[in-house]
Structure 1
């Protein structure tokens, strides 16, 4: 592609302009030309054409082009760049990754009628059933917005075939707003949720709003035996609304009856047959008022209302299961509903709880009791827990003890006010180090405290010999203390680590411990981000050379990040990673936010050309002051491009100076 581009630059403007005109004509008259006409073009011409095609045209051509060995990656990357802007760094490296990202971003915008500059420019090609159909085949998450009721109504009427397709494809459902179960129009949203969660394959649920009663509805019958009293009263007090005979005409039954989706084969997905709009969606104001008493939130009755069946012998609707649950804006009321459901929530595998404010310790202790009941039931499948924001560190140990089968734990802790009761809540004892071994494989701890009890961290690490991934951020120790004990514990107790991410902590006096950690380790990813590495090194270049030499001895290492460490002119030393007879295996190097000047990058480029990496290197150069000397910076970038994938976005010196001051 680079050779083709250089040849194009050498051609006359007239030839290039004529070529562009032809490409635009193909885009405009694609339907008349048909795919065969495009496939008959020479391969180089097809590759040039891809970036001029619409999303639907790329999707249509992709299977046939793949059979010819031609990737549509450049076309999808062109769409992403057009959507996100020229300064946005695109990190999708495969055809399917790029295509999925395009469809994911566009489907919600187009389906709900949201606009951005890209959608406005391409609305003619995007606001079509064919685009929604193509995108629905790719996406795995459906974002349900109850405020746009009419779009959801379409899924129960003329766009019901699209709902059938979503039912087969969607794995994750997001509920964006609180749903008022007393309003008739919300029945449409409940029905769509019922189809995706119970009839469909969706097993992941993301709840964005603080709606305890809706959370109870979502959990009801879907893996938990908990029966919320308020919800049960609501379900039993409401009668099912009936569809008028006219709305149950044979044409509607043929296209909307349960089982239609099982009769539609994958090969017939593109055959979209519109359905008549049900009269349920177009009743008069008087009819609406007279039927308020007939509201229902029972999923089984909702399904009969929106998809009427012939007679009472119809098979009952299935109940789905929720394997992964995420609750954002999780308040005390929602947590109480969840805690009541947890002891019988045997199918739950992953639980994520986010609170805008810090959880109360009493709420967390109630959660721990519910988790203990679930684990004691011997039928628990919960292995992943993510919770933020905890009020203090030692609650983490309580959660671990309450759910001893966890293999992944992600916690965020925030306590900016010192409170003596926190330090006394769970006193430190020698016995805590001898507690039962934990099966943890992944552990992430993000801390925002004035002072952190490092003993808690090291104790958990010693109890987790199977740990493969460890990410810790924000550790603050008393003046004069060192993080060396943390690194020593990792060396002694966690021999199976594959990914280590240390962030926002002072490691400037820990070089010996870092070098010791790298001996005989099997790390694949190593990140020292904002760790003030060079701050106390008397001879920065020599010490960095020691670190580089140690890194080269780790044959499994493929990702290295030294972002935000004030490397500046010392960045040149990193080129030695690839020197000698045993060059480093690193394939991704992040040196962003290091105040690297253009002249320093050019020196790094020259050294790297001498010690050329044995494989293509992805190099992250974001947030460095390239605008100080654009000509030198661009010269350095041109020297790197033959053997590097460069991640760089436009940056101004004023922004870089803010970054510089924040790291002083």
Structure 2
């Protein structure tokens, strides 16, 4: 009887799958209303089978009926990344926007991955690009894809109009050569997004000082780069001279056009004049074509716009330079003192910054803050050559609320700081910093310096420290004591790649002093020097249970191994822990130990569904036992796990020694 019932259920499922496949295949031939008239239960089962465009089409109507397409978008993400990839998007819009964010640049620029190749028929359409453009907020300008970008100024001009209204962040992914005429297309698109559109964030992935100068010109800073000014003015004079010889106005490419030409980028007569006027070079060696955004706009924009109109300049409030060399930094430092609209600055160098360059940056930031017309709140810099420069940057930017720095000492030994007007100050004034992240790669860290920074920042709510190395015989106890005494506002604490095995008393005091919401000890060797590891872990668990605000706990890469079952005590008793996400990945937990943990956790079941990260543990030592443990955990847990790779065994072992 049971076998017959199972066969009937299998047949029904197979028939439903065939029907869903047919609906997806012939969706265009069906009336959307007919699909939406299906029972809600069937529609929910159908969603994971629909294409991206079909999901986008039915979503508004389904939302009116109170039906979410979340499962459909999650299905697309799983199809793109694989079933074992962690997907943490809890709302319909979050999942949909992530899908569109990934797919838009792939389809627009003609890139291919496995998912795009399998779904090319459904994705390589104008309707998909239009649907995706309504969701994305970041546009990556790849200047090497010149023909694709040209389409935005011609047949796909409506798409550019839409991007202009939606894009908030623009990335320049490769070099822009201002000496080449085809660069004008890229410059015009940037002008549309930054000056006509709503984009206020700029991400530059290349080292090119003149490009940076062009991007900053007029957009929030009063600084004028001499080289760029000479280039723009020379071209303007060349255009004016050419125009006057033809008896036209200041721009020879502006012609009166009929209404039939409105969807075109440039009319044929304009193209011929552009080619004849701007293709040759003048005696000075400067190319005879414009890089001035104002003139470019008249070159590419339909002529209904009067030639006397001047485009407004957009403002950049967030600037990120991913490959910042000394030349680019000099351009930026010149612009900073009058960069009044800037709120967030991120600088990543391909090598360690020179100390002199960082001090010049601090001077420029100080001049900006002294102007009383601006306040930078977010500063991210990597890589600094010494820890002490961090305090120089804090003093230069008294309005900072978030600071991220990576520090890598290049040469062993102390650094002699160059003299600057404020280097002799005591650095004791209170700072409003709320978020601090410091990643260090050096043989020894000046802990006294770091604790002095922490004492100055009593409003700190988030702290992430990684890689702190102390001299032999020293401990991190003073760091933890400082946090307990000076940083009571802490809500997020992440300590990574540092030895805390002899700091249990200070950790327990810290848990009493702060109302932490997220606590992560990653690769901190928590139990390494404990004579009784189980008892020490029990003390930590007891203290964690008394933090009612704590919802995220990570003990990843601490070699908990056979002691992992102690963590089940988090949920024992009348006052269980409020932890909702527990990360015990990479702890060399054997299958038998995982089964014991699962059985104890089943007895002390969490009061809410627990997200449990079990990845990078040796499941293949006994797959049957491991799978049994997972079955015990699934009724009350969301499991993040993946198969153990034997080739990674030694790597994991060494990382946890």
Which TM-score tier does this pair reach, normalised by the shorter chain?
over 0.9
Matched, 1:94 2:91: yes
Q: What is the CA deviation profile of residues 234-272 of structure 1, one whole-angstrom value per residue up to 9, with x for unaligned ones?
A: 1001135644759x442233x4xxxxxxxxxxxxxxxxx
Q: What's the counterpart of residue 530 of structure 1?
A: 523
Matched, 1:353 2:347: yes
User: Shift in Å at residue 521 of structure 1?
Assistant: 1.8
Matched, 1:299 2:299: no
Q: What is the CA deviation profile of residues 60-112 of structure 1, one whole-angstrom value per residue up to 9, with x for unaligned ones?
A: 11122222222212211111111112332222222211111110000000000
Instruction: Work out the CA distance in 2 between the residues paired with 1:343 and 1:460.
Output: 25
Q: What's the counterpart of residue 129 of structure 1?
A: 126
Gaps of 5+ in 2: 240-250, 282-286
Matched, 1:309 2:303: yes
Q: How does 1:443-458 map to 2 (within 5 A)?
A: 443-458=436-451
Instruction: Work out the CA distance in 2 between the residues paired with 1:641 and 1:58.
Output: 30
SS of the residue corresponding to residue 638 of structure 2 reads strand
SS of the residue corresponding to residue 139 of structure 2 reads strand
Instruction: Work out the CA distance in 1 between the residues paired with 2:501 and 2:227.
Output: 57
Determine if contact 2:254/2:299 at 8 Å carries over to the other structure: no
For the aligned residues, what is the CA RMSD? 2.3
Instruction: Work out the CA distance in 2 between the residues paired with 1:401 and 1:311.
Output: 48
Counterparts in 2 of 1:285 and 1:371: CA distance versus 1, 3 Å? closer
Q: What is the CA deviation profile of residues 110-151 of structure 1, one whole-angstrom value per residue up to 9, with x for unaligned ones?
A: 000000111111011000000000000111100000000111
Instruction: Work out the CA distance in 2 between the residues paired with 1:216 and 1:485.
Output: 46
Instruction: Work out the CA distance in 1 between the residues paired with 2:405 and 2:313.
Output: 32
Determine if contact 1:391/1:415 at 8 Å carries over to the other structure: yes
Matched, 1:171 2:168: yes
Q: What's the counterpart of residue 267 of structure 1?
A: none
Q: What's the counterpart of residue 15 of structure 1?
A: 12
Q: What's the counterpart of residue 495 of structure 1?
A: 488
Q: 2:598 aligns with which of 602, 605, 621?
A: 605
Q: What's the counterpart of residue 391 of structure 2?
A: 397
Matched, 1:64 2:61: yes
Q: What's the counterpart of residue 262 of structure 1?
A: none
User: Shift in Å at residue 656 of structure 1?
Assistant: 3.2
Matched, 1:199 2:208: no
SS of the residue corresponding to residue 31 of structure 2 reads helix
TM-score normalised over the length of structure 1: 0.92
Q: How does 1:404-443 map to 2 (within 5 A)?
A: 404-422=398-416, 432=426, 435-443=428-436
Instruction: Work out the CA distance in 1 between the residues paired with 2:575 and 2:404.
Output: 37
Q: What is the CA deviation profile of residues 155-207 of structure 1, one whole-angstrom value per residue up to 9, with x for unaligned ones?
A: 10110110111011101000011101111111000000000000000000000
Determine if contact 2:517/2:550 at 8 Å carries over to the other structure: yes
Instruction: Work out the CA distance in 2 between the residues paired with 1:244 and 1:366.
Output: 45
Determine if contact 1:385/1:406 at 8 Å carries over to the other structure: yes
SS of the residue corresponding to residue 178 of structure 2 reads coil
Counterparts in 2 of 1:598 and 1:605: CA distance versus 1, 3 Å? same
Instruction: Work out the CA distance in 2 between the residues paired with 1:22 and 1:215.
Output: 55
Counterparts in 2 of 1:192 and 1:365: CA distance versus 1, 3 Å? same
Q: What is the CA deviation profile of residues 360-398 of structure 1, one whole-angstrom value per residue up to 9, with x for unaligned ones?
A: 001001101101110111112211100000001001111
Matched, 1:341 2:350: no
SS of the residue corresponding to residue 534 of structure 1 reads coil
Determine if contact 1:72/1:95 at 8 Å carries over to the other structure: yes
Counterparts in 2 of 1:242 and 1:587: CA distance versus 1, 3 Å? farther
Q: What's the counterpart of residue 650 of structure 1?
A: 643
Instruction: Work out the CA distance in 2 between the residues paired with 1:82 and 1:351.
Output: 36
28-37 vs 389-398, which moves further: 28-37
Matched, 1:380 2:360: no
Q: What's the counterpart of residue 260 of structure 1?
A: none
Instruction: Work out the CA distance in 1 between the residues paired with 2:110 and 2:378.
Output: 36
Determine if contact 2:254/2:270 at 8 Å carries over to the other structure: no
User: Shift in Å at residue 621 of structure 1?
Assistant: 1.1
Q: What's the counterpart of residue 23 of structure 2?
A: 26
Instruction: Work out the CA distance in 2 between the residues paired with 1:312 and 1:421.
Output: 60
User: Shift in Å at residue 503 of structure 1?
Assistant: 0.6
User: Shift in Å at residue 304 of structure 1?
Assistant: 0.4
Instruction: Work out the CA distance in 2 between the residues paired with 1:430 and 1:185.
Output: 52
SS of the residue corresponding to residue 641 of structure 1 reads helix
User: Shift in Å at residue 279 of structure 1?
Assistant: 3.9
Matched, 1:584 2:593: no
391-400 vs 79-88, which moves further: 79-88
SS of the residue corresponding to residue 86 of structure 1 reads coil
User: Shift in Å at residue 421 of structure 1?
Assistant: 3.2
SS of the residue corresponding to residue 637 of structure 1 reads helix
Matched, 1:180 2:173: no
TM-score normalised over the length of structure 2: 0.93
User: Shift in Å at residue 313 of structure 1?
Assistant: 5.3
Counterparts in 2 of 1:614 and 1:10: CA distance versus 1, 3 Å? farther
Counterparts in 2 of 1:279 and 1:447: CA distance versus 1, 3 Å? farther
222-231 vs 375-384, which moves further: 375-384
Determine if contact 1:89/1:649 at 8 Å carries over to the other structure: no
How many residue pairs get aligned? The number is 634
Determine if contact 1:224/1:342 at 8 Å carries over to the other structure: yes
71-80 vs 186-195, which moves further: 71-80
